[in-house]
Structure 1
Amino acid sequence: MYVIDGQAVAVPAADTDAVVGELRDRAEILDALYRFALGQDLKDKDLLASAFAADAELDFRPAAARWGGRPPVMIGRDTIVTTILAMFTDRVDTTHQVTNPRIAVDGDTARLTALVEAQHLLTADHGTFALLKNPYDVELVRDGQRWTVRRMRIANTWYTGDPTAIFG
């Protein structure tokens, strides 16, 4: 599941232009995941949407299976954004922290793996919560100067609290 390449930058260090280009790509790739996380936390439709390609797919089934949840795969940027915001806005407060990102770039496509700690608290009762540690496996495509998510699969390593209160 994880990108395990032995080095962070694949191009030769002596090729300054190639290094700068790859580092820019890596920053933009990681920014797509940051836009997804912060878009949820701020309930910001435009920021959340900017993370995804129009035909994106978000698969939360592996994570939800840990507590018996059976969500559908979300297909299409509009469906992903509408579903997430409808589930959280005015009901759930969230914070997402992204760690351990690993990136493999292949032309205009890339793969990103990361760990995301996601805190979800019912707005009306912060005593009802779910804290999740989720490995993300993300496929991205270049969209001009930025990168967008084409496919995101979210698994779960552990959780505490009551995910069913948050996600149903």
Structure 2
Amino acid sequence: MFVTEHAALAAPAHDTAAVVAELRDRTEIVDALYRFALGQDLKDKELFASAFAEDAELDFRPAAAKWGAAPPVMAGRDTIVTTILGLFTGRVDTTHQITNPRVTVDGDTARLTALVEAQHLLTADHSTYALLKNPYDVELVRASGSGDGGGRWLVSRMVIHNTWFLGEPTAIFG
């Protein structure tokens, strides 16, 4: 479920090329989550979509269960982008902060655990809000044919859990 390895890097310290390659992968893996967050915050469809594989899944059910909601799993990049940006654009202002990323890489697949604080405010009335502290469990795949030497990573599955929240999530998420 979450990345709990006791060491950050797998590459031997004396193998500079392997260390550099692993560090590049880890940076690109975390960047996929940054694209997800900033794309939402800016309501930038292209940036937001760039975080996901075409057949990606986003599961918000564990977080939503904390306040009694039961949304479906979103399947497919287009569905994820259309659903989330459709729910927020012109209605909800968001900011996301990402911390504590932990990464494991296994060839062309990877796992990422991160802690994300997500602030959601109704655009028309910022006194109606939901502040969420969410552990993310993310599976990623290396993009093929990305034109950048295979360095770009895409979210294939994202599960969003919730540790705590303040405010009114039902006013934000329905």
Q: TM-score, normalised by structure 1?
A: 0.99
TM-aligned CA deviation for residue 21 of structure 1: 0.1
**1:134 alignment counterpart:** 134
**2:17 alignment counterpart:** 17
Looking at structure 1, the residues matched to 163 and 4 of structure 2 have their Cα atoms a distance apart, in angstroms, of 18
TM-aligned CA deviation for residue 95 of structure 1: 0.2
Residue among 151, 155, 161 paired with 1:149: 155
| Amino acid of the structure 1 residue aligned with 2:139 | E
Q: Which runs of 5+ in 1 are unaligned?
A: none
| Amino acid of the structure 1 residue aligned with 2:4 | I
| Amino acid of the structure 1 residue aligned with 2:113 | T
Looking at structure 2, the residues matched to 164 and 141 of structure 1 have their Cα atoms a distance apart, in angstroms, of 33
User: Aligned-residue CA RMSD in angstroms?
Assistant: 0.5
- Length, aligned pairs only: 168
**2:168 alignment counterpart:** 162
Looking at structure 2, the residues matched to 42 and 95 of structure 1 have their Cα atoms a distance apart, in angstroms, of 9
Looking at structure 2, the residues matched to 145 and 103 of structure 1 have their Cα atoms a distance apart, in angstroms, of 15
Looking at structure 2, the residues matched to 155 and 2 of structure 1 have their Cα atoms a distance apart, in angstroms, of 11
Moved over 2 A (4+): none
Looking at structure 2, the residues matched to 6 and 25 of structure 1 have their Cα atoms a distance apart, in angstroms, of 19
Q: Which runs of 5+ in 2 are unaligned?
A: 144-149
TM-aligned CA deviation for residue 145 of structure 1: 2.1
Looking at structure 1, the residues matched to 160 and 109 of structure 2 have their Cα atoms a distance apart, in angstroms, of 19
| Superposition map of 1:94-133 within 5 A | 94-133=94-133
| Amino acid of the structure 2 residue aligned with 1:35 | R
**2:147 alignment counterpart:** none
Looking at structure 2, the residues matched to 70 and 8 of structure 1 have their Cα atoms a distance apart, in angstroms, of 35
Looking at structure 1, the residues matched to 2 and 106 of structure 2 have their Cα atoms a distance apart, in angstroms, of 16
Percent of matched pairs sharing the same residue: 79
